[in-house]
Structure 1
Amino acid sequence: MNSQSTPVHIRLWHKDFWLMAIANFLLTMTVYMLVPTMPQWLVEKQQLGMVDAGIAMGAFGVGLFALGAFISYLVQHYRRNLVCIYAVLAEALLLGALYYVDGLNMRVNDPMIIIIHRLLQGAVFGLAQMVLTSTLIIDTSESFQRTEANHSAAWFSRFALSMGPMAGLLIGRIAGFHYVLLSTIVCAIAVAVLVLTVNFPFRAPQDDIPTVSLDRFFLPHGFPLFVNLQLITLAVGIILSVVLDEHFYSMMMMGFAAAILAQRFVFKDAELKSEVVTGLILMGAALLMMLTRNLPIVMIAAPLFIGMGTGLIGSRFLLFFIKLSRHCQRGTSQSTFLLGWESGIAWGVGIGLAVFQGDTTSALVAALILTIVALAMYHFTHVWFTNNKNR
């Protein structure tokens, strides 16, 4: 099978699925609203150097892996929706701590405190997001609809990649970073409420589940895909570290919408390799335009291309992970994709701040090099995938 088209089932879009998809969107918004605004706060208000600010932003990506090995144990021994809710409330408390510090105009003397805070935020966000995507969203869907459910719900969090920074920049410009933090707290609380309103059937706890395992956490035989995805998301993260323009993110959102239409009509019966290759070419073209041209049309076309390219790549890689998974590994494939996506972006933002320190040209050149390397690697990754897929 050289092409793949995800079917559409109207019955998938019932109330519980909508609530979980919106929860997925709001949960991701709590992270991306801080991407363009928190570094400014760290440098200007907390008087951290760019290197320390970059390490703090990148620490979030490290924290994502901290609790993953315990997910299977937690969801099998406790109510899975409550595990997600407690993790989201923990994130709200961590955001509340920042809100308190900013409200009192306090300065954190030791950068390590901020770094540890970001590690903890990454840990609880990763736990909540992995439980939500690998378990709760699947639980709201019939077995034959689960691939579509994963594919559709992921688009909600993907749109947060553009809407989160755009909202953060707008709120920060109009009302200040204090209200950006307040908005993230409101989003986190709304996620907890949405998950609480869905009735998930009680399942008797299993006693033979090991405390630490890779189940629902990481798919070892998907490592080549994981590395290829990381190269792409590192490039995206570096781009986000130097872009502080609401208009850029609004056009990026239009690119996501164009990617959805392209998947449905342009790539419906196309060769399986075409979406990722097209997405990487679009990203490379956008970066070349930003590096070589200073025209108004560039700020329209470049983010549009980046959004469309990122959307095509993200949705196709997610389906690759699903097709690579073996029996009862669907949830694990979701978590592996999530880790590759979110950690790559977090580390890209951190590298952009710590290494390039506002040098837009150098950052964009680095992102372009990563995109080219990812495209070259994908030729081999795709061959490996077609030889190893299980679905």
Structure 2
Amino acid sequence: MNSQNTPVHIRLWHKDFWLMAIANFLLAMTIYMLVPTMPQWLLEEQQFSPQDAGIAMGAFGVGLFALGAFISYMVQHYRRNQVCIIAVMVEALLIATLYYLDGLHMHVTSPVVIFVQRFAWGAVFGLAQMVLTSTLIIDTCESFQRTEANHSAAWFSRFALSMGPMAGLLFWRIGGFHLVVTAAMVCAVAVMVLVLLVNFPFRAPQDDIPTMSLDRFFLPHGFPLFVNLQLVTLAIGLIFSVVLSEHFYSTMMMGFVLAILSQRFVFKDAELKSEVVTGLILIGAALLMMITRDLPIVMVAAPLFIGMGIGLIGSRFLLFFIKLSRHCQRGTSQSTFLLGWESGIAWGVGIGIALFHGDTITALIVALVLVVLALGMYHFTHSWFTNNKNR
């Protein structure tokens, strides 16, 4: 049977790995806290049109690709932990610009200012996240534990997908946008401290590394899987663009817990295709409930199904990218998954705000269409994957 299960090694969970995993969680929190709150700030405080607010949110997804081609050069010529710290430091400064604007109640004279800020934010976040996941986390573990390390650390950032928006909305209600960006800056500073606490061995710089390359950035032969993942995350981004409820995200987190348990017990010896198919069916069922029913039970079942679906799909696609990678391409596979995941959510949020602001049902219908397309495409993507995997 074509099945797969990720083993658990208790020795992986030592202090350095814990520090890097928590840093991964906090780094993701810096962006997810602003997913539901920044559009509100742009629309209400800055008087942006929905189209400009949507472009601002989507610009983050474009920025993720800006520095990827230079990652291999930077981590080979400079201390890799310092590259991550500097990127997070710049991110904190970019968040501070929002703190400054909101604190002084200043209105941006042109939306382009925010477009550039979001693009730059995406660029430095992408750099920090790719260095952290593709290099620093696996540097803290033994070679035979790296797949488990990637799988486990990804769950920390996945939990931030629910905890970030939930915390952002709570902070918004307590202290407004000012408190949200303050919390985001605190998370960024905490990431820098955690990375500094880990001692990474010095590596001699390599002189034969090209300035620009796809190494540690993008896996070209994983493109079909990348497109399939984008369809899913675009749908998730559309959902996030219309959901402004702490209860929704807290229940979604419970769905993540169910996904972890089901992977360990329900899908342990199941056919490899089953997890993604089940995840897409769960998300599709949740969307159908949200579109056709307005009952209290829907706001419990729908986010629970969405959380479980995201958890199953995210975990399995990450392992698919790892298995597609050839020798010395593990870091590249991690970055490719990250780009597909984060950019799809950013673009989904941007499209949802720009095109469907105030029209929740239409946004959910489009999300459902994307999920159906992803399910149809996966029928072919899975066969392609089994014929092209290298591990």
- Give TM class, smaller chain: over 0.9
C-alpha distance in 1, partners of 2:96/2:290?
Answer: 37
Deviates more, 1:271-280 or 1:355-364: 355-364
> Which residue of the partner structure matches residue 144 of structure 1?
144
C-alpha distance in 2, partners of 1:209/1:262?
Answer: 43
C-alpha distance in 2, partners of 1:185/1:164?
Answer: 13
> Which residue of the partner structure matches residue 71 of structure 1?
71
C-alpha distance in 1, partners of 2:244/2:179?
Answer: 18
Shift of 1:175: 1.1
C-alpha distance in 1, partners of 2:269/2:85?
Answer: 40
Which deviations, in whole Å up to 9, do the C-alpha atoms of 1:51-101 show, x marking residues without a partner? Answer: 000000000000000000000000000000000000000000000011011
Residue 104 (1) aligns with residue 104 (2): yes
> Which residue of the partner structure matches residue 250 of structure 2?
250
TM-score relative to the length of structure 1: 1.00
SS in 2 for 1:229: helix
SS in 1 for 2:105: coil
> Which residue of the partner structure matches residue 58 of structure 1?
58
The percentage of aligned residue pairs carrying the same residue is 82
Structure 1 segments, 4+ long, off by >2 Å, are none
> Which residue of the partner structure matches residue 266 of structure 1?
266
C-alpha distance in 1, partners of 2:43/2:292?
Answer: 30
> Which residue of the partner structure matches residue 46 of structure 2?
46
SS in 2 for 1:328: coil
Which deviations, in whole Å up to 9, do the C-alpha atoms of 1:225-251 show, x marking residues without a partner? Answer: 000000000000000000000000000
C-alpha distance in 1, partners of 2:222/2:266?
Answer: 28
Residue 113 (1) aligns with residue 93 (2): no
TM-score relative to the length of structure 2: 1.00
C-alpha distance in 2, partners of 1:175/1:48?
Answer: 21
* Structure 1: tracts of 5 or more residues without a match: none
> Which residue of the partner structure matches residue 324 of structure 1?
324
> Which residue of the partner structure matches residue 163 of structure 1?
163
Which deviations, in whole Å up to 9, do the C-alpha atoms of 1:205-260 show, x marking residues without a partner? Answer: 00000000000000000000000000000000000000000000000000001000
What is the one-letter code of the residue matched to 1:216?
R
> Which residue of the partner structure matches residue 35 of structure 2?
35
Q: How does 1:102-251 map to 2 (within 5 A)?
A: 102-251=102-251
Counting matched residue pairs gives 391
Shift of 1:174: 1.1
Shift of 1:358: 2.2
Shift of 1:24: 0.1
Which deviations, in whole Å up to 9, do the C-alpha atoms of 1:332-382 show, x marking residues without a partner? Answer: 000000000000000000000001112100000000000000000000000
What is the one-letter code of the residue matched to 2:253?
M
C-alpha distance in 2, partners of 1:270/1:191?
Answer: 37
What is the one-letter code of the residue matched to 1:95?
I
Shift of 1:109: 1.0
What is the one-letter code of the residue matched to 1:43?
L
* Structure 2: tracts of 5 or more residues without a match: none
Shift of 1:309: 0.2
What is the one-letter code of the residue matched to 2:264?
R
> Which residue of the partner structure matches residue 309 of structure 2?
309
C-alpha distance in 2, partners of 1:48/1:20?
Answer: 37
C-alpha distance in 2, partners of 1:3/1:51?
Answer: 45
What is the one-letter code of the residue matched to 1:364?
L
SS in 1 for 2:88: helix
What is the one-letter code of the residue matched to 2:338?
L
Q: How does 1:324-363 map to 2 (within 5 A)?
A: 324-363=324-363
SS in 2 for 1:375: helix
Which deviations, in whole Å up to 9, do the C-alpha atoms of 1:301-348 show, x marking residues without a partner? Answer: 000000000000000000000000000000000000000000000000
What is the one-letter code of the residue matched to 2:263?
Q
What is the one-letter code of the residue matched to 1:83?
V
C-alpha distance in 2, partners of 1:90/1:263?
Answer: 37
SS in 2 for 1:176: helix
What is the one-letter code of the residue matched to 2:266?
V
What is the one-letter code of the residue matched to 2:305?
F
What is the one-letter code of the residue matched to 2:201?
P
What is the one-letter code of the residue matched to 1:180?
V
C-alpha distance in 1, partners of 2:358/2:122?
Answer: 24
